[in-house]
């Protein structure tokens, strides 16, 4: 073993210790990414995303530390922390009249028979005062393929609690829509790589087909990574129901969600107004063409 390897391992051990300490100190928190209805622009829910609020570095996104979490065996502790933190925040919103659905990412690769996740979720619901239908669990295609039988059993138990189930990052793995029929899936989230390529006709055809097939199975569709009004309009015209992305908002700390909702309502009215203006202009152009 070289000295450089010693250095890398030592650094890794220190960072792993930092993650464990951050979890114990409550520095790992949930930030919330809004989800909106593409037709009405109404906010229908938020997705809880792990953030490390570091005392010196500031807010660190999950992508920057998830490898450390996984390699250090902290996925279970992180998931429990996010569930506890986010259900408590969502419970406060519900009591204040903001009935937002809360989406939680579920690492199926970390699920083992000794982890009674449904009991943990049930306890979190009781502690927060949230109804079961206020929760949604997002699982990835790859996660479903790790242990399909265990995944099906777990999703079935969560479904019985009233939670809805969503397939996250759809289009990046090898899970087929045919396989979805065997699971209690309510929602499919199109990966941002598909959404960002809507200017390409072939990509649009893939997105359109995925939306159509999902609807054939009564599964609603959410687009991830919506960054332009053009993408918003394209997805809405294809029948996609909901969207997330920079056009709408960046992930927000819990304390900022109520104020953002108030400001978004004004933005939603502007989007709705611009759509009405375009429809009016199109109708006028058709009338003029007919008269000519």
Residue 152 lies in a domain: yes
Do 43 and 100 form a contact (C-beta atoms < 8 A)?
yes
Three-class SS state of 117: helix
Helix segments in 26-65, DSSP class H = none
In this structure, are residues 44 and 100 in contact, taking their beta carbons and an 8 Å threshold?
Answer: yes
Would 67 be classed as within a structural domain? yes
Q: Per the domain annotation, does 93 fall within a domain?
A: yes
Cα torsion 280, 284, 287, 288 to 10°: value is -170
The answer to whether residues 87 and 128 touch, using CB atoms and an 8 Å cutoff, is yes
Residue 11 lies in a domain: no
- pTM comes to 0.86
* Residue 288: how many other CB atoms lie within 10 Å: 9
In a domain, 17, yes or no: no
pLDDT at 61 over 50: yes
Average pLDDT of the residues in 97-121: 90
| Domain containing residue 155: CATH number | 3.20.20.450
The pLDDT tens digits of the residues spanning 8-43 come to 344 445 566 788 999 999 999 999 999 999 999 999
Evaluate whether residue 269 is within a structural domain.
no
Is 8 part of a structural domain of the chain?
A: no
Q: Is the pLDDT of residue 289 over 80?
A: no
Q: Is residue 141 part of a domain?
A: yes
CA 65 to chain centre: 18
The confidence score (pLDDT) of residue 10 equals: 40
Beta carbons within 8 Å of 25's beta carbon, 6+ residues apart = none
Task: Find the domain containing 224 and state its range.
Answer: 27-263
Count of the separate structural domains present in the chain: 1
Residue 15: what pLDDT?
A: 61
Q: How confident is the model at residue 132 (pLDDT cuts 50, 70, 90)?
A: very high
């Amino acid at each position: 073993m070289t000295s450089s390897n010693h250095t890398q391992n030592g650094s890794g051990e220190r960072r792993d210790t930092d993650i464990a300490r951050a979890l114990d100190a409550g520095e790992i928190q949930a930030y919330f990414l809004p989800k909106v209805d593409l037709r009405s622009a109404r906010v229908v829910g938020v997705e809880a995303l792990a953030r490390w609020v570091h005392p010196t570095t500031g807010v660190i996104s999950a992508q920057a530390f998830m490898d450390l979490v996984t390699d250090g065996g902290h996925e279970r502790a992180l998931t429990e922390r996010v569930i506890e933190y986010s259900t408590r925040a969502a419970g406060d919103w519900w009591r204040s009249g903001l009935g937002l659905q809360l989406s939680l990412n579920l690492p199926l690769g970390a699920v083992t028979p000794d982890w009674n996740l449904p009991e943990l979720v049930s306890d979190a619901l009781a502690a927060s005062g949230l109804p079961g239908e206020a929760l949604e669990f997002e699982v990835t295609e790859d996660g479903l393929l790790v242990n399909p039988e265990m995944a099906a059993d777990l999703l079935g138990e969560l479904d019985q609690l009233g939670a809805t189930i969503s397939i996250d990052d759809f289009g990046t793995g090898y899970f087929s829509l045919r396989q979805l029929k065997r699971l209690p899936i309510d929602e499919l989230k199109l990966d941002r790589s598909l959404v960002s390529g809507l200017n390409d006709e072939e990509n649009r055809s893939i997105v359109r087909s995925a939306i159509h097939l999902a609807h054939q199975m009564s599964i609603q569709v959410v687009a991830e990574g919506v960054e332009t009004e053009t993408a918003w309009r394209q997805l809405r015209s294809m029948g996609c129901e909901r969207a997330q992305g920079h056009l709408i908002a960046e992930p927000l700390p819990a304390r900022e969600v109520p104020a953002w909702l108030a400001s978004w309502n004004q933005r939603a009215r502007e989007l709705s107004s611009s759509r009405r203006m375009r429809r009016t202009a199109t109708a006028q152009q058709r009338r003029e063409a007919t008269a000519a």
